[in-house]
């Protein structure tokens, strides 16, 4: 089962991908999570990426293409993968096609999670994240103990790029650079639209109905 979870920032890709990865026992590959881990560890990649991430800009394509090529070559991807946050530009999508051809793991579907801009701003401004990769929402999906992760118990924090002005910039970048991929994947016959406005559970069942076809 080889899928891309597609959609604007805040659509619920990470939330869904984590549950889907458990349900189908395939890896959840979030380029945002990988980059943030590099920022925390202070690697060369992290230092380079941070300049873009804090401003809500995209990290350059060549960096992301190398990163995703390495990650998809790891052994845990043999039974499939869920991509979250990649591809975000046409050059990234072109590169992905080449990489997937080489490893003989072509995409089954690109699941496009649709959510209105107004709802996205609410979701992103209320998001609280944990370094372990979990994320919550202060109103829609609060942790059991306020301020602490249900899974690892560590402190939750608000991402730099979840501040109001950066959110607007990220949505503008999405509309300009990433949204054109909907046409790109529609032309390839891969897009499946999902209504992302409902509860986490209802979005999850919609996506499972799609993914079950590729088991
Ligand atoms: P993305 O990975 O697409 O940027 P996230 O999965 O991190 O988005 O979700 C963004 C925020 O919205 C988080 O705070 C999350 O808890 C919340 N959220 C996710 N799905 C839903 C949903 N279906 N309804 C309400 N809030 C949601
Ligand atoms: P995300 O966690 O998916 O919201 O990504 C957070 C930030 O990481 C983005 O705003 C970008 O700065 C960077 N990023 C993540 N994935 C990509 C990508 N595929 N291409 C470029 N930048 C990315």
Q: Which helix (H) or strand (E) holds 36?
A: helix 31-41
The answer to the question of residue 78 being in a domain is: yes
131 inside domain: no
Measured in whole angstroms, the distance separating CA 197 from the mean position of its chain's CA atoms is 17
Q: What is the pLDDT of residue 169?
A: 96
Mutate to test the pocket of ligand 1, among 8, 9, 10 (most ligand atoms within 8 A of CB): 10
For atom 5 of ligand 2, the residue with the nearest CA is 32
Which token pair is 10? 């805040």
Q: From the CB of 28, is ligand 1 less than 6 Å away?
A: no
In this prediction, residue 163 carries a pLDDT of 94
User: 52: Cβ–Cβ under 8 A, 6 or more apart, which residues?
Assistant: 58, 59, 60
Task: Determine, yes or no, domain membership for 204.
Answer: yes
Mean pLDDT of the chain: 97
Tally of domains in the chain: 1
Residues of the domain holding 15 = 2-27+74-115+177-214
Within a domain: residue 160? no
User: Ligand 2: which atom is nearest the Cα of residue 60?
Assistant: 21
**Ligand 1 atom with least separation from CA of 197:** 23
The mean per-residue pLDDT over the stretch 43-48 comes to: 97
112-147 tens-digit pLDDT: 999 999 999 999 999 999 999 899 999 999 999 999
Q: Which of 194, 200, 9 is nearest to 114 (CA)?
A: 194
Domain assignment present for residue 205? The answer is: yes
Just list the catalytic residues: 13, 88, 127, 159, 170
Q: Give the pLDDT confidence of 145-161 residue by residue, as tens digits.
A: 999 999 999 999 999 99
Q: Is residue 18 part of a domain?
A: yes
Report the pLDDT value the prediction gives residue 174, as an integer from 0 to 100.
98
Residue 108 in domain: yes
DSSP string for 68-82: HHHHHTSGGGTT-EE
Are 111 and 5 a contacting pair, CB within 8 Å?
yes
90-95: average pLDDT: 98
Of the pLDDT bands very low, low, confident and very high (cuts 50, 70, 90), residue 215 is confident
pLDDT the model gives residue 54: 95
15-31: pLDDT as tens digits: 999 999 999 999 999 99
* 190 in Cβ contact with 110 (< 8 Å): yes
Whether the Cβ atoms of residue 211 and residue 45 lie closer than 8 Å to each other: no
Q: Is the pLDDT of residue 202 over 90?
A: yes
Please say whether the dihedral angle defined by the alpha carbons of residues 206, 208, 210 and 212, taken in this order, is positive or negative: negative
CATH number at residue 91: 3.40.50.300
Rounded to two decimals, what is the model's pTM? 0.97
- Give dist(CA 128, CA 21) in Å, integer: 21
- Residue whose CA lies nearest to ligand 1 atom number 12: 123
Mutate to test the pocket of ligand 1, among 8, 15, 158 (most ligand atoms within 8 A of CB): 15
- Residue 62 belongs to some domain of the structure: no
Backbone angles phi, psi at 53, to 5 degrees: -60, -45
d(CA 50, CA 59): 8
């Amino acid at each position: 089962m080889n899928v891309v979870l597609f959609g604007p920032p805040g659509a619920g890709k990470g939330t869904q991908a984590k549950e889907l990865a458990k349900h189908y026992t395939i890896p959840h590959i979030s380029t945002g999570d990988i980059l943030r881990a590099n920022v925390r560890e202070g690697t060369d990649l992290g230092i380079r990426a941070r300049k873009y991430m804090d401003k809500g800009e995209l990290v350059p394509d060549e960096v992301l293409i190398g990163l995703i090529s390495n990650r998809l070559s790891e052994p845990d991807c043999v039974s499939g993968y869920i991509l979250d946050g990649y591809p975000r530009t046409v050059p990234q999508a072109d590169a992905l096609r080449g990489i997937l051809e080489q490893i003989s793991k072509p995409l089954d579907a690109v699941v496009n999670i649709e959510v209105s801009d107004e709802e996205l701003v609410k979701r992103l401004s209320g998001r609280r994240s944990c370094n372990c990769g979990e994320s919550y929402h202060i109103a829609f999906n609060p942790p059991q103990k306020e301020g602490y992760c249900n899974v690892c118990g560590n402190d939750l924090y608000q991402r730099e790029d979840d501040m109001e002005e950066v959110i607007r910039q990220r949505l503008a970048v999405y509309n300009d650079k990433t949204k054109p991929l909907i046409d790109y994947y529609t032309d390839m016959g891969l897009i499946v639209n999902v209504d992302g406005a409902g509860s986490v559970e209802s979005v999850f069942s919609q996506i499972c109905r799609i993914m079950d076809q590729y088991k």
